[in-house]
Amino acid sequence: MSLMASARAEREDLRDLLAGLSPEQWRTPSLCAGWSVHDVVAHMLSYEELGARQLVERFLRGRFSVDRVNDIGLREYSTRTPAQLVELLDDHLDPAGLTAGMGGAIALTDGMIHQQDIRRPLALPRTIPAERLVPALRTALFAPTLLGVVRVRDVRLVATDIDWAFGRGPEVRGTGEAILMTVAGRRAAVAELSGPGHARVAQRLG
């Protein structure tokens, strides 16, 4: 499966999840500090309608700070209702613009991490297909906006449920999903890892 096809499949899974959430679940705090489930979805979709010129304008308004640029997008899209956000997602199952970058790897990885940001607080786990999880792990390690490799330097990550490992040093073991979320800086996932390198990674994530 190509990265773009994987990104679409990930978005289809997210759409199916969101379509079944209650109003209370939409208001639930996500793993992203200060953001509800609604905020996470609004953030994810805030780039989909931007052409190249609009994207440049948003980055200029945000003075090229990723956090400020994200805040601008969130303010613009947070007024949309859950139903409107689901409709917008349904209209953009195929990534476009910025999220289509790196052959779809950006949309796949960002979508996977944020879907777990939603699922974990709602206690709605899932099994992520290995053919999607492996490229997302690779992207999360090296994408400029995440640079997860810095958080897990000098350890060897070993997935216990898929055929994947990375790095050198004392081992840190866990499911591929828990490793992905740790690489992305989510402290909630660190406790699910084990091994002689665990303390080193846990300390870096605070």
φ/ψ of 194, rounded to 5, equals -150, 175
Cα→Cα distances 48→12, 56, 119, Å = 15, 14, 22
Global pTM value: 0.91
pLDDT of residue 100: 81
Q: Report whether pLDDT(18) > 80.
A: yes
- pLDDT interval class at 144 (50, 70, 90): confident
Domain 130-204 of CATH type 2.60.120? no
In this predicted model, what pLDDT tens digit does every residue of 28-72 receive, in sequence order?
A: 999 999 999 999 999 989 877 666 676 667 767 766 667 777 777
- pLDDT interval class at 102 (50, 70, 90): confident
> Between residues 45 and 206, which one has the greater pLDDT?
45
Q: Report whether pLDDT(201) > 80.
A: yes
- pLDDT interval class at 21 (50, 70, 90): very high
Contact 38, 86 (CB under 8 A): no
- pLDDT interval class at 74 (50, 70, 90): confident
Which residue, among 127, 105, 117, 111, has the nearest Cα to 181 in the 3D structure? 117
pLDDT of residue 56: 63
Domain ranges of the chain: 3-122, 130-204
Give dist(CA 124, CA 116) in Å, integer.
Answer: 9
Which residue, among 115, 193, 186, 182, has the nearest Cα to 153 in the 3D structure? 182
